[in-house]
Amino acid sequence: KALVDKTLSGLMKSGEINKIYAKWFTSPIPPKNVNLNLPMNAQLQEAIKHPNDKGI
């Protein structure tokens, strides 16, 4: 749990989580280039700004 918490917290603080989210949820996904077109909602954006292990 500590390793996962540290890793996810690092992704959130660096902003890298936004690139990963965009890759899978707002960009074409190979091989069929399907785009889910699912922008990040305000609740998830807030959770990323203030990471904790309490849940949403």
Mean pLDDT by 10 residues, the chain (56 residues): 94 97 97 97 94 79
Instruction: Look up residue 53 and give its two tokens.
Output: 């292990």
pTM: 0.83
Range of the domain at 43: 1-49
Are 12 and 51 spatial neighbours (Cβ–Cβ below 8 Å)?
A: yes
User: Is 54 inside a domain boundary?
Assistant: no
User: Is 34 inside a domain boundary?
Assistant: yes
CA distance 12 to 15: 5
From 40, 2, 36, 47, select the one nearest 21 (Cα to Cα).
40
Split into its structural domains, the chain has a count of 1
Instruction: Look up residue 51 and give its two tokens.
Output: 């990471």
User: Is 10 inside a domain boundary?
Assistant: yes
User: Is 55 inside a domain boundary?
Assistant: no
The per-residue pLDDT for 56 is: 61
User: Is 30 inside a domain boundary?
Assistant: yes
